[in-house]
Chain A
Amino acid sequence: MSNTVTRIRLAVVAAAASVAVLAGCSSPAPSGDASAASCEPAKGKVTLEYWNTVPGMDQVVALWNKKNPNIQVEMKNISNDQYGTIGNALKAGKAPELAQVGYDELPFLRTQNAFVDASACSAATAVKSKFVPWTWSQSSFGGTGVFAFPQDTGPMALYVRSDIFTKHGLEIPKTWDEYAADAQKLHKADPNLSITFFDPNNAEWFNGLLWQNNAEMYKYSGDKWHVTAASDQSKQVAEYWQKLIDAKLVRTDLAHGSTQMYTAYQKNQIASYVGAAWGYSMFRDNLPKQAGKWSIVPMPTWGSSAASGDWGGSTVAFMKGNTHLYESVKFNSWLNTDPEALALENKLGGLYPAATAGSELPALSQGVEYYNNEKIFDVFAESSKNIDTDFSWGPTQKTVNLALQDAMAKAAAGDGTLNDALSAAQATALKSMKDQSIPAVAGK
């Protein structure tokens, strides 16, 4: 026993010693946004590091490297833990020059001082007009700097099994009310058939629906964040889906993109899909037998005017410590506006470009065979134009999304409602901001 005590005492001494050593190196206050970044071209050859999660991006980078011997890009795929990898690299002061960051993670990373403002480069501000407005407003934080270039988006639309709709004599729903009525009809005709599924573990998707209804959850004014996750607009969306769940008109047992989801579609149990532009290839590749049975139409709306939401998409951000802004801007704008690069990214990675030139790409202006040769990308382009540009994400979005998901799952299991989930998101947003010492208040 005395032996053990000695051992424990030793361990405590050693631990205390290491703590004492580490105490000497608590993190110094990092400097804020490097607004004084310079845009001098480098002399000689430059190598840029670029981290992303896009399939086939290595081939796009190879094309650039072939054309630009003096600006070489090294890429690393970080899809297994995108934000973990980026976060750790930032903590270690070893961030790459450029990294892929989702729109909803931009404010979060900005609070970690992850970016550098590239607006010192005139070329960086000049590309603004080449992107869909809402994407630029998010990556430039409302025009206060240039922190990232938009890469791809996920404008939302409704995927419809036209054969099932025809069989049951349903019109294409223009509004959410019509959609709910269709859900009722379908379920009456065949209890094994649901109009769609509600994945309670998918906050990103749900956020897209809230966005469509102009639910502006975060606003920054007067040196404070104003948080209204449970606004009337949000509640309208939440109550709508709650009704569908309560009436068992939508399935809640399918995770988006899972084998189970595809199986349900395969067995003709589900008649529509509320999805994004990047979903077209998922259906095409996973449900080959249903070729010709799917159509893509605009999202049902809440009012008479067209409005849409976005689900997913990313930017390529200028990361902290980037000393080659001139070259980074050059590569980044080629990557996200050059037709050749966009075509390749669309073909290999299924990206739906954030650049307005995207809609002129041959691949995105022709009919798609799987979808009856319909010009589905016209629907997405139209959807993209109808996305609220004032919407902004919160600085602790990831944490809020997790809490929202947990509460949505409870609601789907009959414990609480989706309105409670919005309240949970509100509470978590305020608490997580407080934890990070970010000034925030509830209300508009």
Chain B
Amino acid sequence: MTDIATRANRVVAETGGRRRHYGGGPRAGTIVAFLTPFFLPFVLFYLVPVGYAIWQSFLVVRRTGGQYGTSYTTFGGFEQYAQVFQNTEFWSSIGRIGLFGIVQVPVMLLVALSMALLLDTPLLKIKPFFRITAFMPYAVPGVIAAIMWSYLYSPQVSPLVDVLKGIGLQPDFLGPGAVLWSAANVSTWLWTGYNMLIMYSALQSIPQELYEAAKLDGASNWAIAWKVKVPIIAPSIVLTTVFSIIGTLQLYAEPAVLRQISSNISSTYTPNMLAYAVASGNNYQQAAAISVVIAVITFVLSFGFMRLTSKKAGL
């Protein structure tokens, strides 16, 4: 806290108390007063738990005596991390999620973008209706959505499977090859409307004059969509991509629910499921280390993507 105060003092010193039109520069006391309401909960409910998890990940359990001797935790350095890196289950779950993300994220965002662009054309009437229907799935909690879809996937009870069988197909939504994409489909169904809405809001803020100018230059609707609209809303596309990358790495609910009806989803199917399974065996320290590694990977990927695209997107 005092760190901020000195920093603020330095700011005041550096600006040399340059007169702004509203009088003197901000005083350190003022800065602290304004920041405290944010900083206190931020530290308490964000930094402390994160710090605690990081701390846990450096501990190991030791035990004195035999069968039911007393256990205690002690500092173990990178022992837990070494285990994470040696854990083949962990890396295969990361690989699985990578495959999932590489396919699901672009597909979902392309669909969302197309829907947003369609909504934004004057051709479409009853916009509020379409907007609400596309957004509706987002109002359904992930677990409920997964349960709903698990009925549609399940061969014994699904009308969908019956219909597909009726036209001569043999769908196996829960088979070893298909189940990952069945989960991807649930995620896509849940999030497409939400991402569409973010893009659509960005489209709404584009001034109409731009379109008029483009039309005068003889641009078709198609050209306006791809050459004017998409570049302008690029930042929101980047944003939705980053959210989707983060969401993918934290995938839990959909596969965990589908696991109830498909034996092709293991308890370590996604990194988060693995962390949960390890924690449920009371190995909190290992679970914390897994979580930290997931967080670092998420951080690297999402920031990496931002760095890659920020120039293009003009962020």
Chain A residues with a Cβ under 8 A of chain B: 10-11, 13-16, 18-19, 22-23, 26-33, 83-84, 87, 91, 108, 110-113, 199-201, 220, 223-225, 252-253, 255, 258-260, 263-264, 267, 395-396, 398-399, 402-403, 405-406, 408-410, 412-413, 415, 432, 435-439
Contact = CB atoms under 8 A, between A and B. Distances in A.
Contacts of B71: 29-30, 111-113, 436-437
Given A22-B55, A23-B55, A260 B261 contact: yes
Contacts of A18: 43, 47-48, 51-52
Contacts of B260: 255, 258
A408 B284 CA distance: 26
A11 B46 CA distance: 11
Interface string B37-77: 00000010001101110110001111111111111111100
A-B pairs, 9 with minimum CB distance: A399-B281, A18-B51, A409-B263, A29-B72, A437-B63, A406-B266, A223-B66, A263-B156, A200-B263
Contacts of B75: 26
Contacts of B176: 413, 415
Interface residues of B, number: 51
Contacts of A87: 282
Contact of B155 (A91, A113, A253, A409): A253
B154 interface: yes
B156 A32 contact: no
B157 interface: yes
Contact of B264 (A11, A31, A405, A413): A413
Nearest to B154: A260
A143 to B, nearest CB: 14
A200 B260 CA distance: 11
A110 B268 contact: no
Contact of B282 (A31, A108, A252): A108
A264 B156 CA distance: 7
Contact of B281 (A28, A200, A398): A398
B277 interface: yes
A30 B72 contact: yes
Which of B4, B55, B70, B156 gathers the greatest number of chain A CB atoms within 10 Å? B156
B267 interface: yes
Contact of B61 (A23, A33, A398, A436): A436
Contacts of B263: 199-201, 252-253, 255, 408-409, 412-413
6 contacts: A18-B43, A19-B51, A19-B55, A30-B70, A253-B174, A432-B283
A257 B4 CA distance: 58
B280 A83 contact: yes
A15 B54 contact: yes
Contacts of B73: 26-27
A443 B272 CA distance: 34
Contacts of A437: 60-63, 71
Contact of B156 (A11, A91, A201, A260): A260
A81 to B, nearest CB: 9
Which of A252, A253, A259, A403 gathers the greatest number of chain B CB atoms within 10 Å? A253
A381 B51 CA distance: 54
Contacts of B83: 435
Nearest to A109: B282
B3 interface: yes
Nearest to B266: A406
Given A84-B280, A225-B67, A435-B286, A14 B43 contact: yes
